[in-house]
């Protein structure tokens, strides 16, 4: 028995020596991910985005921290789309897993609540999916947002339609009563009023609404030139179908952000034709990325190879959140929070997602808003001119 034990000891010693020879130090990013609950759809997309970053960085040999290569690892837990749980998980990530950096959860409210914890510990946190400036209104030192503010999107849309369709004057706005849709609808109203559009109505619908006939009939009677609807993709699918049932037509129908995800066109089929939308990112906006992916197009190809579909701005922003952190750490040559935070504050990061530059409240303010339209089943870029793939086709449904 003793001999057996000695043998075992020798083997385990050898094994541990081998392990230490090969061992590479790991750098861990913590992330609460909504894998279940109402935000699961988007949460899982963010997770895919993070995975893209982690795989690519490790393929390159890891994170170069002052000449030492560290393996990147994502420590993630499901927060079940519950705020209390997200807060608990961030506490766990900081205290138990001891992660030096965090990626924010999907929901804007959850981002705000967890950012409070990160701020208390001084752990930098990058948010991939919060675009509403109110998320950043507490001026936390440790919260950074990849998506640029809503107003940049609505300004770009209003300017483009004013130029290309001068006869469009009267707008009806319909938004889900939730943090993001409500905020972007409010920005649209502000942008449109400033440019001389007439706002016929600015209405809200409650979460889980399935029957929009009342509100759509009302909108129909206003005879708007432009209908602007925003909410979750499922809501927008229902709205587009019920518009067709009720014969609601307009020169311009814009939906945020549903049509930028493939699910929208897959569900409404032909009804998606000529619906316009916007996006924070699209692979056709061919940004160059010397760090890992090469360019937006190449990022999308890599994404497609792994997940068998195109990346949307959501996954791209998640990848960019992780990539920006890695770039900041390499630039700072240390994993110390203070140094990395300083780099995040001051540097512009050129990524496949576009240039990222954090403002003094911590939100990316580099404007690269895209105006897009579904034409013959394909999502094409209308503006800015540099990335244009097609001209605007007026009329929803399209006139034969």
CA separation for the pair 228, 173 (Å, rounded) = 5
Total of chain residues touching another protein, rule CB under 8 A: 33
**209 binding another protein? (CB under 8 A):** no
Beta pairing class for 26-33 and 288-289: unpaired
Residue range at the interface with another protein (CB under 8 A); choices 9-17, 118-126, 282-290, 295-303 = 118-126
If binding is defined by CB under 8 A, does position 84 make contact with another protein?
A: yes
Query: Can residue 47 be called a binding residue for another protein (CB under 8 A)?
Result: no
| 214: contact with another protein by CB under 8 A | no
95 binds another protein (CB under 8 A): yes
Contact 256, 278 (CB under 8 A): yes
Q: How far is the CB of 294 from another protein (least distance, A)?
A: 34
The residue (of 78 and 155) whose beta carbon lies closer to another protein is: 78
Structure tokens at 212: 């929009």
Residue 254 CA to residue 258 CA, distance in Å, equals: 10
Q: Which is nearer to another protein, 111 or 375 (CB)?
A: 111
Closest alpha carbon to 141 in 169, 157, 121, 164: 121
C-beta of residue 324 within 8 angstroms of C-beta of residue 344: yes
Question: Where is 373: in which H helix or E strand?
Answer: strand 370-375
Which of 170, 182, 357, 393 binds another protein (CB under 8 A)? It is 182
234 lines the binding site for another protein (CB under 8 A) = no
Can you tell me the distance from the alpha carbon of 280 to that of 366, in angstroms, rounded to the nearest whole number?
Answer: 11
92 binds another protein (CB under 8 A): yes
Residue 139 contacts another protein per CB under 8 A:
no
Q: Which of 316, 315, 346, 313 is nearest to 328 (CA)?
A: 346
- Nearer Cβ to another protein (80/375): 80
Rounded-to-integer distance, Cα 313 and Cα 154, Å:
16
Per CB under 8 A, residues contacting another protein are 35-36, 78, 80, 82-84, 87-88, 91-92, 94-96, 109, 112-113, 116, 119-121, 132, 134, 137-138, 177-179, 182-183, 204, 206-207
């Amino acid at each position: 028995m003793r001999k057996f034990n000695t043998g075992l000891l020798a083997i385990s010693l050898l094994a541990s020596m081998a392990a230490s020879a090969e061992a590479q130090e790991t750098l861990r990013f913590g992330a609460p991910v909504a894998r279940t609950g109402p935000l699961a759809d988007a949460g899982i997309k963010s997770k895919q985005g993070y995975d893209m970053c982690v795989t690519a960085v490790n393929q390159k040999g890891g994170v170069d921290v002052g000449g030492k290569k560290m393996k990147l690892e994502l420590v993630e837990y499901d927060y079940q789309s519950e705020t209390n749980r997200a807060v608990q998980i961030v506490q766990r990530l900081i205290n138990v897993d001891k992660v030096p950096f965090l990626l924010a959860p999907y929901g804007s409210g959850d981002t705000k609540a967890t950012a409070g914890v990160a701020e208390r510990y001084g752990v930098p946190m990058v948010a991939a999916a919060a675009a509403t400036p109110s998320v950043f209104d507490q001026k936390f030192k440790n919260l950074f947002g990849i998506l640029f503010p809503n107003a940049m999107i609505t300004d770009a849309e209003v300017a483009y339609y004013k130029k290309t369709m001068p006869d469009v004057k009267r707008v009806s706005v319909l938004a889900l009563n939730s943090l993001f849709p409500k905020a972007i609808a409010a920005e649209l109203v502000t942008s449109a009023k400033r440019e001389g559009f007439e706002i016929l109505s600015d209405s809200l619908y409650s979460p889980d609404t399935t029957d929009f006939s009342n509100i759509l009939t009302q909108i129909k009677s206003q005879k708007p030139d432009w209908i602007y609807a925003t909410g979750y993709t499922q809501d927008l699918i229902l709205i587009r179908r019920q518009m067709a049932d009720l014969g609601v037509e307009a020169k311009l129908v814009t939906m945020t952000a549903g049509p930028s995800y493939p699910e929208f066109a897959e569900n409404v089929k032909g009804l998606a034709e000529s619906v316009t939308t916007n996006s924070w990112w699209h692979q056709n906006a061919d940004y160059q990325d010397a760090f890992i992916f090469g360019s937006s197009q190449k990022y999308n190809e890599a994404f497609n190879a792994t997940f068998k579909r195109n990346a949307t701005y959501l996954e791209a922003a998640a990848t960019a959140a992780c990539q920006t952190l890695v770039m900041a750490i390499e630039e700072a040559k240390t994993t110390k929070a203070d140094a990395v935070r300083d780099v995040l504050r001051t540097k512009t990061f050129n990524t496949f997602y576009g240039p990222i530059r954090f403002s003094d409240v911590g939100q990316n303010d580099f404007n690269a808003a895209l105006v897009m339209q579904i034409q013959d089943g394909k999502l094409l870029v209308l503006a800015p001119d540099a990335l244009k793939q097609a001209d605007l086709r007026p009329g929803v449904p399209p006139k034969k």
